[in-house]
Amino acid sequence: MESINSLLNQVITQSGIEYFLFGRDLRILFANEAALANLGYTLEELSQFTLMDICNRHFDKELVRLKNAPPVTEDNVYIIHLSNTYYRKDGTAYPGDTQLQQINHEGKLAFMATVRDVSEREQALDQLNMVIEGGVKSVTGIGTSRLKQWKSVPGH
C-alpha cells in the first residue's frame, strides 16, 4: 500500500495537469509542480491565496453546490466543470479548463481543483478560424462576419 501511495503522490506531483487542494476557508493547501511552475508562485506564496484570487471567476454558486452536495463516497463524487482564465505572478494569463470537487481531507470537508492549461488548444482554434475566414473570403469575396449578416437578412 505504501508503494501505491508513493506512486500516486509521484503521479500527482509530476503531472502536467495542475492540482490544487483547498480547505473549507478556501485557502490553497497544496498545489503540484505543474501549478507552481505555470503560475510562477511558491507553495508558501500560494497558501496565502484562494483559487478565486488567481482566476477571473468567483466560484460562489459552485462552492455552495459543492458544500451542499452529499458527502463523497466511492459511489458518489460530485464534479463541476468550468472554464476560467488564470493569472500568473508575472501578470500574464492563460485559459484553463477546471474541475472542482469536494473531498474528504483528514476527516474534514475540503475541495480539489484540477486545471488543464488550454493555451495551445485556444491558439490552434484561433489559427483554424483565421484559415476558415481566409478560405471563405477567397471563395466568396466577403468575410465570414459579412456572410453571417447576409444570411440573417430575410429571404437569404
Regarding whether 13 and 85 lie in a shared domain, the answer is yes
Strands 108-117 and 93-105, by their bridges, are antiparallel
Q: What is the pLDDT of residues 92-110, one digit of tens each?
A: 999 999 998 888 878 888 8
Q: What is the pLDDT of residues 34-60, one digit of tens each?
A: 999 999 999 999 999 988 889 877 667
Regarding whether 58 and 27 lie in a shared domain, the answer is yes
Domains in the chain: how many in total?
A: 2
Regarding whether 143 and 85 lie in a shared domain, the answer is no
Which pLDDT belongs to residue 153?
47
State which residues form the domain around 104: 2-117
Grid coordinates given for 154: 430575410
100, 114, 93: which is closest to 67 by C-alpha? 100
Which pLDDT belongs to residue 15?
82
CATH number at residue 111: 3.30.450.20
Which pLDDT belongs to residue 26?
84
Q: What is the pTM of this model?
A: 0.70
Can you tell me the mean pLDDT for 82-89? 91
